[in-house]
Chain A
């Protein structure tokens, strides 16, 4: 092993370091000088500090750009352009969450809130660059624990406490599964690095067939399944989404999802490339592809069908995001370069769209008095601009062109058909996905019906701060652009995925 230079590590983890310092800074500033201020002003000032830190953390990322792939600390962390790009995505998502949070009542502990949010972001950044099982686990725990705390931040509200406890219990069990599975994997292959596992599996046929390794893989997938909330490991999601303060919901639904899916992609595509199996119609064979095909199919069906009967907007979006996790799994099942590109593109579109949608819900529900569907009645008259944005976000989730959600879905489904273009082996999954998106249009339209068609009892105009409108407007613009002009980002991703 080469001697480790701390300076090298610091350089490689510059963004994380900046964020850690910012977290300390926010805590200090809030403690020292913001306590006496009015709450909204205090939130805005603390938010400004956090935002500055997040923007500064982009600088070290830029410095590492366009350099050959480097692996640090004996293969635990890696830096390449794909990883840097997704670190940037995480930072953008965290920054947007901060902007939404400044407009939301968070209780007295403003500094703590932003600091924990930053710790979560650090966990996600580490998760993106992790290449080794233990690091993955530690980063995942850092992310999760931060999110448990954030979920409970509505101190006065029972449903927030309940959500946090539920989220924590499920999360802890899933971590146990994950750790248990990883221990088997280590036991069989004798290594924790992803490339090491790949080489070990490739080297011996017997190892690939080993029931112990298969058990390890199964348990690891269950653990990740909890984190990304796919059926049947989704039970925590609706409660946590509904109970958490809305900006936190946005953070859980976007940042942590992106990071978890990204690392799952890496674990499966790199580490377990030799244990794919098959989900082609009529030639099923065991492996992670088949597992993901089944959980993905279940998620699409259950997520979409359960969303139909929801009356709470956040709960509806929770079920919809379970369904979307199912769509994303279709790209995994394709198990090809196109599939990986499709997954990553969809992650970007999906996270921006969902963040925008939760942002609008956060801004409107706090002023309309609740996040039930009927609280949004007549919103098109009360807040025309944010309603228009919500229209864009919701239609993008439903997969209506020319918005990003449509192209993302099209690309995912196309990748699955392409995986076996001769015999259309994955067409069954694609058909299921397409039929389910037709179902999803129903409940998305119901939500829009409340906003655009029904008349509310309260007719008063709702005004929201300009900076919030502008930010959400930019997100909507990005969602449209991803659908109308996807060429640069698709080409970028396609090029970067080759490194996987």
Chain B
């Protein structure tokens, strides 16, 4: 099965879930999980095949790749508009396809405890996942846009029905932001389509078509900003924290883990690939806005009182690295950006899972001041969060390090000041992650204050007796272990992903002035 089956299998799974009776909740969960796993396996198998192919090609051609695209299918869909159903993958989309698979499977595992309207939840969830797969595989701008919008609507229902804290507000804000963003993209696509002759929406064809510089300069920001809204680019990021916080765990994981990558991926494919001159013109703007996003996100995360808001703002900060890396337009910076998409996808999923599922579902509070001492009660959650936090800070040995260091180096080539700015962000990241770890997992004595000492005497060395929490369940542990393993594997053996990314970024850079 080729990688396009990820889309079809997931849609099929959503359809099957819809047909099951609503009371057989366990069956629905297992069907959803089977769907997710099947799609992931299809994605992984093709990933490794592609990886082997890239390595062979590189060996045969002195370290360069002539054409990184693997064509899957290309048939005419709407001839009147020159739209093709064209799917293709390269080394930039493959890591994201696999990422989506992992987030889908772990998201389902972390949603195992959902009891309310299970059938609808998994139907919306799988539809969203299928739309995301579609975006990563589409090589026709119209088709990409269709999948992109298809992924918007399920988010509204998932958040508004199963969410918490101001869920309807958060859901509506998120959807309207995304939709306004896609409205900008819509205008940009139409303008580009007709200035490129009005014959085709095929990205690879359009990329060959020279578009006048003045058109590029005003169309590029439309498409770029339109997609960047979803990537959480400052100052269009405000949907992200509220949306993440309102969403149920699996949806936060999806939002931060893959949906924000949809935005960045759209920027790359829809804007950067097609408008080299516009990109050249605007790249400094993008780079500085990215740096502001990095610092701003981290600084705001530092002062948050709500555990989930910390992670929400940290996503804004980390997505800044992606945009910064993309704007550097050099091999190392862009490769780092794409690896960062994968790395942050895993990190954010892991952290949201700890916050939403392991902590909030048990303690029913997310206020830092009310939490504390959880390290002894649910040590597994603590270990998970520390590992995720370390990767998030960019500790060597984890994927975050490999990605961010490359972005920083790439930014240095562009301007040392960018690196300085982003470096400030990294320092702030350490501060808020350590602060969160301390307050949530270790700070029992300080917070309970005077009463704690007598408490401590009474129970002599036991865990904090404020918490009487159920233990970590098997699905949670399995999912967390999968994600942690990914962080370590990519951290220690980055070439498994970086080789294909580098080879394809090189091809992209050949097309820029």
Measuring CB to CB, which residues of chain A are less than 8 angstroms from any residue of chain B? 341, 380, 395, 400-402, 406-407, 410-411, 413-414, 417-418, 421, 424, 427, 430-431, 434-435, 437-438, 441-442, 445, 448-449, 452-453, 486-487, 490-491, 494
Q: Which residue of B lies closest to A417 (CB)?
A: B190
Contacting pair B180 A486 (CB below 8 A): no
Contacting pair A445 B146 (CB below 8 A): no
Nearest Cβ on chain A to B120's Cβ, whole angstroms: 8
Contacting pair B183 A434 (CB below 8 A): yes
Nearest Cβ on chain B to A140's Cβ, whole angstroms: 31
Contacting pair A490 B80 (CB below 8 A): yes
Contacting pair B191 A401 (CB below 8 A): no
Contacting pair A402 B150 (CB below 8 A): yes
Q: Which residues of B contact A402 (CB under 8 A)?
A: 146, 150
Contacting pair A441 B78 (CB below 8 A): no
Contacting pair B156 A487 (CB below 8 A): no
Contacting pair B187 A400 (CB below 8 A): no
Nearest Cβ on chain B to A302's Cβ, whole angstroms: 19
Contacting pair B80 A341 (CB below 8 A): yes
Nearest Cβ on chain A to B82's Cβ, whole angstroms: 10
Q: Which of B299-334 contact A (CB under 8 A)?
A: none
Quick check: is B175 within 8 A (CB to CB) of the other chain?
yes
Q: A449 with B80: in contact, given A431-B187, A438-B183 (CB under 8 Å)?
A: no
Nearest Cβ on chain B to A432's Cβ, whole angstroms: 11
Contacting pair A445 B156 (CB below 8 A): yes
Cα distance, A487 to B120, chains bound together (Å): 32
Cα distance, A434 to B76, chains bound together (Å): 26
Cα distance, A491 to B80, chains bound together (Å): 7
Cα distance, A401 to B143, chains bound together (Å): 10
Nearest Cβ on chain A to B211's Cβ, whole angstroms: 12
Q: Which residue of B lies closest to A421 (CB)?
A: B194
The 8 closest A-B pairs by CB, nearest first: A421-B194, A401-B146, A434-B183, A490-B80, A417-B190, A438-B183, A438-B179, A401-B149
Contacting pair B146 A487 (CB below 8 A): no
* Interface of B: prevailing SS: helix
Taken residue by residue from 152 to 192, chain B's Cβ proximity to chain A (1 for < 8 Å, 0 otherwise) reads as 11001100110000001000100110011001001100110
Contacting pair A434 B78 (CB below 8 A): no
Q: A441 with B150: in contact, given A417-B191, A421-B194 (CB under 8 Å)?
A: no
Contacting pair A445 B175 (CB below 8 A): yes
Q: Which residues of A contact B80 (CB under 8 A)?
A: 341, 411, 487, 490-491, 494
Quick check: is B496 within 8 A (CB to CB) of the other chain?
no
Q: Which residues of B contact A410 (CB under 8 A)?
A: 81, 142, 186
Beyond A427-B187, A441-B176, 11 extra complex contacts between A and B, CB < 8 Å: A341-B80, A400-B152, A401-B146, A402-B150, A411-B81, A417-B190, A417-B191, A434-B183, A452-B160, A490-B79, A494-B80
Contacting pair B77 A452 (CB below 8 A): no
Q: Which residues of B contact A341 (CB under 8 A)?
A: 80
Quick check: is B198 within 8 A (CB to CB) of the other chain?
yes
Contacting pair B150 A414 (CB below 8 A): no
Contacting pair A453 B176 (CB below 8 A): no
- Show 6 residue pairs from A and B whose CB-CB distance is below 8 angstroms, ordered by the A residue: A400-B150, A417-B193, A421-B195, A431-B187, A435-B180, A445-B156
Q: A490 with B194: in contact, given A402-B146, A438-B176 (CB under 8 Å)?
A: no
Cα distance, A445 to B169, chains bound together (Å): 12
Contacting pair B161 A421 (CB below 8 A): no
Q: Which residues of B contact A491 (CB under 8 A)?
A: 79-80
Q: Which residue of A lies closest to B120 (CB)?
A: A380
Cα distance, A440 to B195, chains bound together (Å): 29
Q: Which residue of A lies closest to B160 (CB)?
A: A453
Cα distance, A427 to B188, chains bound together (Å): 11
Quick check: is B94 within 8 A (CB to CB) of the other chain?
no
Cα distance, A438 to B198, chains bound together (Å): 25
Cα distance, A392 to B145, chains bound together (Å): 19
Q: A487: which of B78, B160, B187 is its contact (CB, 8 Å)?
A: B78
Q: Which residue of B lies closest to A494 (CB)?
A: B80
* Interface of A: prevailing SS: helix
Q: A434: which of B142, B186, B193, B194 is its contact (CB, 8 Å)?
A: B186
Cα distance, A303 to B180, chains bound together (Å): 19
Nearest Cβ on chain B to A327's Cβ, whole angstroms: 13
Nearest Cβ on chain B to A275's Cβ, whole angstroms: 26
Q: Which residues of B contact A438 (CB under 8 A)?
A: 176, 179-180, 183
Contacting pair B160 A449 (CB below 8 A): yes
Taken residue by residue from 67 to 78, chain B's Cβ proximity to chain A (1 for < 8 Å, 0 otherwise) reads as 000000000111
Q: Which residues of A contact B156 (CB under 8 A)?
A: 445
For chain B, the bracket of interface size reads: 20 to 34
Q: B168: which of A434, A442, A453, A490 is its contact (CB, 8 Å)?
A: A453
Residue with the highest number of chain A CB atoms closer than 10 Å, among B180, B194, B198: B194
Q: A407: which of B78, B79, B193, B198 is its contact (CB, 8 Å)?
A: B78
Contacting pair A435 B191 (CB below 8 A): no
Nearest Cβ on chain B to A438's Cβ, whole angstroms: 5
Q: Which residue of A lies closest to B124 (CB)?
A: A452
Q: Which residue of A lies closest to B196 (CB)?
A: A421
Cα distance, A494 to B81, chains bound together (Å): 12
Q: A435: which of B78, B175, B183, B194 is its contact (CB, 8 Å)?
A: B183
Cα distance, A491 to B76, chains bound together (Å): 13
Nearest Cβ on chain B to A461's Cβ, whole angstroms: 12
Q: Which residue of B lies closest to A416 (CB)?
A: B190
Cα distance, A90 to B195, chains bound together (Å): 38
Nearest Cβ on chain B to A229's Cβ, whole angstroms: 25
Contacting pair B168 A449 (CB below 8 A): yes
Nearest Cβ on chain A to B10's Cβ, whole angstroms: 15
Q: Which residues of A contact B76 (CB under 8 A)?
A: 487
Contacting pair B183 A437 (CB below 8 A): yes
Nearest Cβ on chain B to A398's Cβ, whole angstroms: 9
Nearest Cβ on chain B to A209's Cβ, whole angstroms: 32
Q: Which residue of A lies closest to B156 (CB)?
A: A445
Q: Which residues of B contact A421 (CB under 8 A)?
A: 194-195, 198
Q: Which residues of B contact A417 (CB under 8 A)?
A: 190-191, 193-194
Taken residue by residue from 279 to 300, chain B's Cβ proximity to chain A (1 for < 8 Å, 0 otherwise) reads as 0000000000000000000000
Q: Which residues of B contact A453 (CB under 8 A)?
A: 157, 160-161, 168
Nearest Cβ on chain A to B124's Cβ, whole angstroms: 10
Cα distance, A369 to B106, chains bound together (Å): 44
Contacting pair A441 B179 (CB below 8 A): yes
Nearest Cβ on chain B to A20's Cβ, whole angstroms: 38
Nearest Cβ on chain A to B391's Cβ, whole angstroms: 36
Contacting pair A401 B150 (CB below 8 A): yes
Q: Which residue of A lies closest to B149 (CB)?
A: A401
Contacting pair A424 B172 (CB below 8 A): no
Cα distance, A431 to B219, chains bound together (Å): 13
Contacting pair A406 B146 (CB below 8 A): yes
Cα distance, A267 to B78, chains bound together (Å): 29
Contacting pair B145 A401 (CB below 8 A): yes
Taken residue by residue from 110 to 138, chain B's Cβ proximity to chain A (1 for < 8 Å, 0 otherwise) reads as 00000000001000000000000000000
Contacting pair B190 A406 (CB below 8 A): no
Cα distance, A395 to B149, chains bound together (Å): 11
Contacting pair A400 B153 (CB below 8 A): yes
Contacting pair B157 A452 (CB below 8 A): yes
Residue with the highest number of chain A CB atoms closer than 10 Å, among B152, B186, B198: B186
Q: A418 with B175: in contact, given A401-B150, A431-B187, A449-B168 (CB under 8 Å)?
A: no
Cα distance, A447 to B194, chains bound together (Å): 36
Q: Which residue of B lies closest to A419 (CB)?
A: B194
Nearest Cβ on chain A to B339's Cβ, whole angstroms: 31
Q: Which residues of A contact B180 (CB under 8 A)?
A: 435, 438
Contacting pair A441 B157 (CB below 8 A): no
Q: Which residues of A contact B198 (CB under 8 A)?
A: 418, 421
Residue with the highest number of chain B CB atoms closer than 10 Å, among A400, A434, A490: A434
Q: Which residue of B lies closest to A441 (CB)?
A: B179
Nearest Cβ on chain B to A7's Cβ, whole angstroms: 40
Contacting pair A487 B150 (CB below 8 A): no
Q: Which residues of B contact A411 (CB under 8 A)?
A: 80-81
Nearest Cβ on chain A to B480's Cβ, whole angstroms: 30
Residue with the highest number of chain B CB atoms closer than 10 Å, among A407, A427, A445: A445
Q: Which residues of A contact B176 (CB under 8 A)?
A: 438, 441-442
Cα distance, A402 to B149, chains bound together (Å): 9
